Amino acid sequence: MSLDAAEARALAHAEHGDPFALLGPHEGERAGQAGVWIRGLAPGALGLTVVDVEGEALAEAEPVHVEGGVFEAFVPGQTRAQLLAAGYRLALTYPHDHRERVEDPYRFGSDLGELDRHLLGEGTHLRPWTVLGAHPRTLEGVAGVRFCVWAPNAASVAVIGDFNTWDARRHPMRAHPGLGAWELFIPGVEAGARYKFELRLGDGSRAQKADPYAFAAELRPATASVVAALGAPRRLPKARAEANHRRAPMAIYEVHLGSWRRSSEGEGFLDWDALAEQLPAYAAELGFTHLELMPIAEHPFDGSWGYQVTGMFAPTRRHGDGEGFARFVAACQDAGLGLILDWVPAHFPTDAHGLARFDGTAFYEYADPKEGFHRDWNTLIYNFGRTEVRNFLVGSALYWLERWGLDGLRVDAVASMLYRDYSREPGEWIPNAEGGRENLEAIAFLRRLNEVVGAHAPGAVTLAEESTAWPGVSRPTDAGGLGFHYKWNMGWMHDSLAYMAKDPVHRSHHHDQLTFSLVYAFDENFVLPLSHDEVVHGKGSLIAKMPGDRWRRFANLRAYYAFMWTHPGKKLLFMGCEFAQEREWNHDVELDWWLLDPARCEGHGEHRGVQALIRDLNGVYRGEAALHARDCEPEGFEWIAADERETSVIAFVRRSGPAEDPASRCVLVVCNFTPVPRHGYRLGLPEDAAARPRWRERLNTDSAFYGGGDVGNGGLELRVEDRGAHGRARSIALTLPPLATLILEPA
């Protein structure tokens, strides 16, 4: 049966919701003769002929909508199966005698398997990215790309791109009723092609959207998705999995790739290969165990630092393509570094090409702004209660870990996910089904996330940026926790930085800010973070926070770093802080590497001294089990002097195991946070430490090597004496340098 005028018009204007019902081969009859109707779309074409694989004409098509390029032909005497088995092509004639012979996209059946359909429908597909998105395929011997997008409330969807002059009339997609997905295989499209989806919305308007599951995208400010082949999974090497264990040392170097270093001209970003050559070697030489990259998923605005993501499956084009990123990952692991990715499932930007009202409805976000809009960041909040959204986010997490072989994900803004009243006044939020402030859907999502990571990405870890006292963030889900491996210790960071910012003369009144963290230090598996958030938005650099003259500021910072490296918990330091960059971080320019150049900073070697200290702290931390094996367990820590407020001195012991275990190693740590040297300071020793008759300095932050005054106990054996101190029967006497931290080990 020939198309009627209404059907032809709907096809011509890309308004038909079920194009496969009309296009391609369909059995029928004409004038009482059985055969196959073949209908095609070719806007701008003057004619269309159905030809066999040899190019011989089978039937001339008639235009049924000239302006829209809708043609139909009738091939008599054949069944659809016979025609498909023999093969056919569409021969197109355009003005100026331009001719093309193309495959008919509408002769191919659906490439969605029943199992995929079932898992997508119930929201339990662990790897939805293998189905949705753009995938190079060869179907029936024909190479092309299978496109699939989830848009259940769209009236129709078309693929637009380089390959069809961005014309939605040319490639309308197959609808999958009940599933909400749209699918189309387009022959001849290759990797590297740019594309989007054009959706006709319920109100008749249209929206052009980037692919939520795209594996690549254009460089901003362009916004199209890019076809890219899906690489093979990369299993995390066994050595890396062991290095992520909570009893292993973890010293993380946090990096914003766009401003770590710039190109030789100082303006452009380094590509993945340049980063692979420079960054892993630098971090490894300083002794860090892991790199943490601020978000590298595709994002439109540099000033968001990557935290407003539009491509949850696409490494940013700013540094090159996915193959380059794979080489960068390999370079990190070859250098013995774990790679952690900052991952953002809490919110997304409102950009028109992104997820906002994707199919004309609040599909990815909560519909009510009281649930779905972040006023702090002007972003939208994912609807964690929606099956498709949870599938999308959990799939994204597993994709980065499984496909790229990453060591872990640092999950951003967890606190904002857990509470419905986060940053909202009374009346500006909607209680949960039980009347409470907790976001029960987000809690369920986070638990599901961590269970999937644990089961399907063994050895990989998740770290929560969670700033409240929510219990059990790093407790297993079967014990009632959220299931993260680690939690950022924001309380330690805020308290200790506030303490260090005070003039030493006032510190005696704020001693608890230094010691309170040990009250809860083992409630979670903590990471101690000095992150990018502490050196931006007017907060100044870490060295700028320190009080006093130049000498005191550097001495304070060195003492603080050693306190951090010896405090229970894994470590994280933002780039530039390792050499005490003096200006606030600016994402638009590279770090002030010139501060490390002796020719440019003659007589000011303090920056090189701080860098040397970080190198040595990492070496001591990694090499001494007492400083990392029990980072997350109370057996690894004991106070010696916690209450010496007037002198601002603290002292403690770190152990690799219980004190009663003779195989347990221990080190002593003493911090003097005043500019007064203390000679003959008597330090009481616990029994296991007193059993080691002689002690010596392992590290002194006042060493001249680090830019200090060289006050201390270098080269001296500190003998244990039968003299009481700090409630202990035995002690050692030592010199405490001013504004310094000592690490002591058995001689």
d(CA 208, CA 144): 22
Residue with tokens 């946090």: 254
Handedness of CA 506, 512, 513, 515 (dihedral sign): positive
d(CA 365, CA 344): 14
- How many angstroms separate the first and last alpha carbons of the chain? 96
d(CA 200, CA 14): 8
Give the Å distances, CA to CA, from 553 to 584, 609, 707: 16, 13, 12
Active-site hit among 183, 402, 465, 590? 465
Select from 420, 577, 575, 417 the least CA-distant residue to 497.
577
Q: CB 346: neighbour CB atoms within 10 A?
A: 24
Q: Which residues pair with 161 in a beta bridge?
A: 195
Q: Based on the residue annotation, tell me whether 122 is a catalytic residue of this protein.
A: no
Note whether 303 and 210 are within 8 A (CB): no
d(CA 568, CA 169): 62
Q: Which residues pair with 49 in a beta bridge?
A: 60, 91
Note whether 555 and 578 are within 8 A (CB): no
H helix or E strand, kind and range, residue 311 = strand 311-315
Q: Based on the residue annotation, tell me whether 412 is a catalytic residue of this protein.
A: yes
Verify cis geometry, omega within 30 degrees of 0, for the bond prior to 221.
Answer: yes
d(CA 141, CA 412): 45
d(CA 3, CA 173): 19
Active-site hit among 116, 198, 412, 578? 412
Residue 251 token pair = 């010293």
User: φ and ψ at 184, to 5 degrees?
Assistant: -160, 135
Region of 479 (left: φ > 0; alpha: ψ -120 to 50; beta: rest) is: alpha
Active-site positions read: 412, 465
